[in-house]
Structure 1
Amino acid sequence: MLHHLSFAVTDIARSAVFYDAVLAPLGYGRVWQDDTFIGYGSEPGKDVFALKLRPQNAAVPGDGFHVAFAASSRQAVDAFHSAALAHGGTDNGCSGLHPEYGPDYYAAFVIDPDGYRIEAVITESSAP
């Protein structure tokens, strides 16, 4: 359904350090960039998530909004959470099973340095 999603950020260098660290365990990296834009994805030139520098007018949506990134394993969810906390993120729901969302819903919830609510999730029961 979606082609890509972008966040307006106030400090592109700080956000790059954060998202490089949290997206790497999920299999995503930088696929495009310039001085005011960084695109992340798994194929060169095909970003699915982007950061756009907007130092004067970055507006973060309220707590009804969040972005959930797909993870390939529970270990990837755990690594996402650890990387987020180590790089300026704030815990918003521990890494682990969240049965309130389903019996196999394994996720971690964090708030990035600009205040965006993000998540990594896998819902496969056979996930290690």
Structure 2
Amino acid sequence: MLHHLSFGVNNLRRAADFYDAVLEPLGYVRVWTDFEGDENTQAVGYGEPGGGDKLALKQHPNVAVAPGPGFHLAFSAPSREAVDKFHQAALRHGGQDNGAPGLRPDYGPHYYAAYVVDPEGFRIEAVITTAA
């Protein structure tokens, strides 16, 4: 259903460093970068290697605000180990723990996820729903 999502961020370079680190264990990479021109038009995009962006981060200094409770973005993970590495990378790069890696049986018998809040305040998750 979704083609891509865009987040407005106050500090694009900090956000890009964070997402470079946390998306790598999940198999996603920065697929394009635009740090040229006016600070207010700079952006980066993430997706699968060789593909288009599924998540874009766009610079909007001093005005970007993350959505409140009830909104989060979940990234598909290839393994439980990748979920663990996502969580570790997030904490090393300025993210806040919002739910340590582990099974979430309320969501399904194999739902393994980790939750973090990124440095801009966005709630994100890495999840795999198959047996290990």
TM-score by length of 1: 0.95
Say what the alpha-carbon RMSD is for the aligned residues: 0.9
C-alpha distance in 2, partners of 1:71/1:12?
24
Aligned residue pairs total 126
For 1:59, which of 47, 65, 88 is the aligned residue?
Answer: 65
Structure 1 range deviating more: 38-47 or 113-122: 38-47
C-alpha distance in 1, partners of 2:105/2:86?
20
C-alpha distance in 1, partners of 2:49/2:82?
19
C-alpha distance in 2, partners of 1:92/1:6?
22
Query: Sequence identity of aligned pairs in percent?
Result: 63
| 3-state DSSP of counterpart to 1:114 | coil
1:121 alignment counterpart: 127
C-alpha distance in 2, partners of 1:67/1:55?
22
1:90-109 → structure 2 map (5 Å cutoff): 90-109=96-115
C-alpha distance in 2, partners of 1:28/1:82?
16
- 8 Å Cα contact 1:32/1:44 also seen in 2: no
Give the CA deviation at 1:45: 5.5
Give the CA deviation at 1:104: 0.8
C-alpha distance in 1, partners of 2:101/2:47?
23
1:25 alignment counterpart: 25
Structure 1 residue ranges, 4+ long, deviating more than 6 angstroms after superposition: none
Structure 1 range deviating more: 94-103 or 104-113: 94-103
Task: List gaps (5 residues or longer) in structure 2.
Answer: 36-41
C-alpha distance in 1, partners of 2:98/2:73?
13
TM-score by length of 2: 0.92
| 3-state DSSP of counterpart to 2:66 | coil
| 3-state DSSP of counterpart to 1:83 | helix
